[in-house]
Chains A and B, each alone.
Chain A
């Protein structure tokens, strides 16, 4: 794969998610998301995180193609951006919707199944983001691989969170779930060895 192309992709992997956050902010303060953009902001960040997770998992099957090996180096920035969006999604819910009412937040985190599932997913993504530092990667050695295999259960949790969060309808989360299942099926062998349990 040409070095220049890789360089461009590497830049886009950072620029696009950052630029979309900027656009979201602009759209929200300019009233383009309606007079009351809380739900739109939360959904946009949530769906965005899900799409970034999907992209992160698309990388390694693509990198197996002849000459595309360097793509693997994009997994880390994509994964970190996925965590960033998921964290912003969570923060937007805490701050813009629940108005930082901690008693309410504590209750919701325990009582609502879709929120429990989403929060579990966020914790996993947080652990993966923390351990993506190169120094920690080296120190964890083999354990690092096992730990990072948690991205697969996390992707299924993310789909469940999306599905159960909808008041009605199931088609869109089902599409995401199918895409993730396809990406997981491409790694059947690896999964059999690397599953964390």
Chain B
């Protein structure tokens, strides 16, 4: 694996300089501007300007993983690791993109068990630390397309969801798979306060049709960039379905149930006219808030060198997954 240099912000701004800056600001009373709406979703920006800038030194440790490398990069250039770690939607830890990195580091990851049940012959509980030792860990370099019209390329490490589910022997009644994120308001400030959590009903839930879940591209990720997941990326275990919008990739999973009826999905419940159950990446169907025809690429270029590219049907995985939806009106089942 190529080594990506690990730039800490201390390398960019000497500690003494930013401490001095903060003292200057505090002295002038400007800190108040950020304090006027302290719980605001946008406070993240003020935090970025005025404090909490020690994140680089307080990151939760990530363990190196053993896995089979993805040698076919499909001509994709990876999004730098520091951007994958600092640009996250994980409303349980706040709605600004930098909130999860700032607020999730204390998430207790051990022990962590996932309960698998429902329409299966062998329901059970999986200890994630055992999953991490699993010999079947594979690397998958996938495009990741957010419904907000930006995209990344991320080297995930995980196990195929289908292979994982088969251990529990799904019955013929298992038509869908339902997932649930941890519900722990003590650890997750967004679950304590509707203001911090963006007014979503928790726990976050998501679902897939069984054939989608069994598709070899569907991944239960336990790591990225060769190490275990960071809390803000959904540690210790999250879903990655690369042909769907990112919000389908439910994070920090504690429960997986095989079910007969289509399970609820959080964003779909919140705004059904904006977020469908399927949420397949589709440039032909706009979101009411964003054109989905193109996407802003998050790569190693600076903020002032924005680049966009045309969004591909099924996020570029059409030849592998389009047949799952043959005969379906994708404008209706968005």
A96 nearest in chain B by CB position: B306
Judge whether B12 and A31 touch: CB under 8 Å: yes
Judge whether B42 and A30 touch: CB under 8 Å: no
Residues of B within 8 A of A97 (CB): 296, 306
Q: Which of A34, A96, A172 has the most CB of B within 10 A?
A: A34
Judge whether A171 and B199 touch: CB under 8 Å: yes
Nearest Cβ on chain A to B140's Cβ, whole angstroms: 21
Judge whether B293 and A104 touch: CB under 8 Å: yes
Judge whether A32 and B53 touch: CB under 8 Å: yes
Nearest Cβ on chain B to A106's Cβ, whole angstroms: 11
Judge whether A34 and B101 touch: CB under 8 Å: yes
Write out, one digit per residue, whether chain A residues 21-44 have a CB within 8 A of any chain B CB (1) or not (0): 001100111111111111111011
Residues of B within 8 A of A108 (CB): 290-291
Contact of B198 among A23, A33, A168 (CB under 8 A): A168
Contact of B194 among A43, A165, A169 (CB under 8 A): A169
A98 at the interface (CB under 8 A from B): yes
Judge whether B298 and A43 touch: CB under 8 Å: no
Known A-B contacts A43-B42, A112-B288, A169-B199; A104 and B296 likewise in contact (beta carbons under 8 Å): no
Known A-B contacts A31-B7, A35-B85; A111 and B291 likewise in contact (beta carbons under 8 Å): yes
B86 at the interface (CB under 8 A from A): yes
Nearest Cβ on chain A to B225's Cβ, whole angstroms: 13
The main secondary structure of chain B at its interface with chain A is loop
A16 nearest in chain B by CB position: B30
A175 at the interface (CB under 8 A from B): yes
| Bound-complex Cα distance A114 to B288 (A) | 10
Judge whether A172 and B40 touch: CB under 8 Å: yes
B44 at the interface (CB under 8 A from A): yes
Judge whether B293 and A40 touch: CB under 8 Å: no
Write out, one digit per residue, whether chain B residues 246-272 have a CB within 8 A of any chain A CB (1) or not (0): 000000000000000000000000110
B68 at the interface (CB under 8 A from A): no
B9 at the interface (CB under 8 A from A): yes
| Bound-complex Cα distance A114 to B37 (A) | 23
- Which stretch, B91-99, B176-184, B205-213, B214-222, touches the partner chain A? B91-99
Judge whether B286 and A111 touch: CB under 8 Å: yes
| Bound-complex Cα distance A137 to B298 (A) | 46
Give B9-36 interface residues, CB cut-off 8 Å to A: 9, 12-13, 30, 33, 36
| Bound-complex Cα distance A123 to B44 (A) | 29
Contact of B289 among A33, A43, A114 (CB under 8 A): A114
Judge whether A104 and B48 touch: CB under 8 Å: no
Known A-B contacts A43-B45, A168-B271; A99 and B200 likewise in contact (beta carbons under 8 Å): no
Known A-B contacts A95-B306, A111-B291, A112-B289; A171 and B296 likewise in contact (beta carbons under 8 Å): no
Judge whether B87 and A104 touch: CB under 8 Å: no
Residues of B within 8 A of A44 (CB): 42, 45-46
Give B45-85 interface residues, CB cut-off 8 Å to A: 45-46, 48-49, 53, 80, 82-85
Known A-B contacts A30-B13, A35-B87; A171 and B298 likewise in contact (beta carbons under 8 Å): no
| Bound-complex Cα distance A166 to B101 (A) | 21
| Bound-complex Cα distance A156 to B133 (A) | 57
Q: Using CB atoms and an 8 Å cutoff, list the residues of chain B in contact with chain A.
A: 7, 9, 12-13, 30, 33, 36-37, 40-42, 44-46, 48-49, 53, 80, 82-87, 91, 95-98, 101, 148, 150, 194-195, 198-200, 270-271, 286, 288-291, 293-294, 296, 298, 302-304, 306-308
Identify 19 residue pairs between A and B in the complex whose beta-carbon atoms are under 8 Å apart, listed by A's number: A30-B13, A31-B82, A32-B9, A32-B48, A34-B48, A34-B97, A34-B98, A35-B87, A36-B86, A37-B48, A40-B48, A44-B46, A47-B42, A98-B308, A99-B307, A108-B290, A167-B148, A172-B42, A175-B37
Q: Using CB atoms and an 8 Å cutoff, list the residues of chain A in contact with chain B.
A: 16, 19-20, 23-24, 27-41, 43-44, 47, 51, 95-101, 104, 107-108, 111-114, 165-172, 175
